[in-house]
């Protein structure tokens, strides 16, 4: 099976001939293979070249891009002042939404900026070079998470109590923009939309606030993107099972769940999640990117990876991954150790 076939089989809970290998690898490979971090994250040919070299080296089963898109390109297109350091992720220096009067201006924003065009050109290069054998995944964000970029995290959290009308109004205009961006990505070659629910996870907001503010606008976007042919894969940290948020995720037209961290040191038990979702959707594994992978030694990384693979026990719809964004500071020897175990693993 080639990478497209094995990922498609796993997404549909069909048998596979090896473990699908799909970590959140973008940040490390921009350091390992990029001419510089910023270019590999954002700029057409440099971005494509870094990912093609990573595929050759690590034999991933997907191309995974988008940190520069959600961290800089989208916020800047919608009015944030963003700086782009050479060696780290984009930085939002100033947010544009100060009051309800700013919402209409956001609605009129043109998202097809020069930076967006360069990013899309990188996508087109990858699509052409991969010749359909490896699927492309792009990180994405919900209307609520975009709203936090535009308003500020502390401000939006306060608004849920003191100015809920602004939270609703801002998301209402962002739904159409979010769908427009997603449509452009899909037309450029993206197969999987995996949205990092970083601002709406139960580590930050309650299930009640999730249902009140997040679920409806996000569901509209997910439904639209699925209708356009993408497979949508939410990633969320926190105890999504205990809080019941997983059930709200399952209400949406998603194709898999990527569980994240419970704390910096611990991750959600994959078996607990599997018991809740059953055979309805696929499940991505969640090696902690802040643990041995980042701060340990290769032998410990290898042992942890093996424990995760053995713990999955050949469950239908299992895809190996990390529990979120892998740090650009991840030592290459550690990443290689994790990858080597995945490539050599055989379920009994």
Full DSSP string of 72-139: IIHHHHTT-EEE--SSS--EEEE-S--SGGGHHHHHT-----HHHHHHHHHHHHHHHHHTTSS-EEEE
Q: What residues contact residue 301 under an 8 Å CB cut-off, 6+ apart? A: 292, 293, 334, 337, 338
Q: Is-above-0.85 flag for pTM?
A: yes
Per-residue model confidence (pLDDT) at position 348: 66
Band the pLDDT of 62: cuts 50, 70, 90: very high
For residue 277, is pLDDT > 70?
yes
Write out pLDDT tens, residues 184-193.
999 999 999 9
Task: Say what the pLDDT of residue 313 is.
Answer: 82
Which tens digits make up the pLDDT trace of 252-271? 999 999 999 999 999 999 99
Q: What is the mean pLDDT of the chain?
A: 95
Q: What is the predicted pLDDT for the residue at 100?
A: 94
pLDDT at 347 over 80: no
Give 69's DSSP letter.
I
Three-class DSSP category at 34: coil
Q: What is the pLDDT of residues 171-180, one digit of tens each?
A: 999 999 999 9
Could you give the percent of the chain with pLDDT greater than 70?
100
């Amino acid at each position: 099976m080639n990478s497209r076939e094995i990922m498609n089989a796993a997404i549909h809970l069909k048998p596979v001939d090896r473990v699908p290998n799909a970590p959140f690898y973008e940040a490390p490979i921009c350091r390992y293979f990029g001419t510089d971090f910023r270019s590999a994250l954002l700029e057409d040919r440099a971005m494509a070249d870094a990912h093609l070299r990573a595929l050759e080296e690590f034999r991933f089963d997907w191309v995974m891009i988008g940190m520069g898109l959600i961290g800089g390109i989208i916020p800047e297109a919608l009015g944030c002042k963003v700086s782009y350091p050479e060696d780290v992720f984009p930085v939002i220096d100033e947010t544009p939404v100060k009051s309800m009067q700013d919402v209409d201006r956001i609605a009129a924003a043109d998202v097809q900026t020069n930076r967006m065009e360069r990013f899309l050109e990188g996508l087109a290069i990858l699509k052409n070079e991969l010749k359909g054998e490896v699927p492309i995944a792009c990180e994405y964000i919900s209307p609520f998470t975009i709203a936090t970029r535009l308003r500020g995290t502390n401000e939006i959290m306060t608004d849920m109590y003191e100015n809920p009308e602004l939270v609703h109004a801002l998301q209402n205009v962002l739904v159409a923009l979010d769908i427009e961006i997603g449509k452009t990505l899909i037309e450029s070659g993206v197969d999987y939309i995996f949205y990092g629910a970083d601002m709406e996870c139960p580590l930050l907001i309650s299930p009640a606030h999730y249902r009140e503010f997040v679920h409806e606008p996000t569901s509209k976007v997910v439904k639209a993107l699925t209708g356009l042919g993408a497979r949508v894969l939410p990633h969320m940290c926190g105890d999504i099972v205990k809080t019941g948020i997983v059930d709200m995720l399952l209400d949406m037209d998603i194709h898999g769940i990527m569980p994240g961290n419970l704390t910096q040191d611990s991750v959600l038990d994959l078996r607990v999640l599997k018991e809740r979702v059953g055979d309805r959707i696929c499940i991505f594994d969640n090696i902690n990117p802040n643990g041995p992978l980042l701060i340990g030694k290769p032998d410990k990384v290898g042992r942890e990876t093996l424990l995760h693979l053995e713990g999955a026990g050949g469950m239908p719809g299992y895809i190996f991954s990390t529990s979120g964004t892998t740090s650009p500071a991840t030592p290459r020897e550690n990443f290689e150790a994790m990858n080597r175990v995945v490539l050599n693993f055989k379920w009994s």
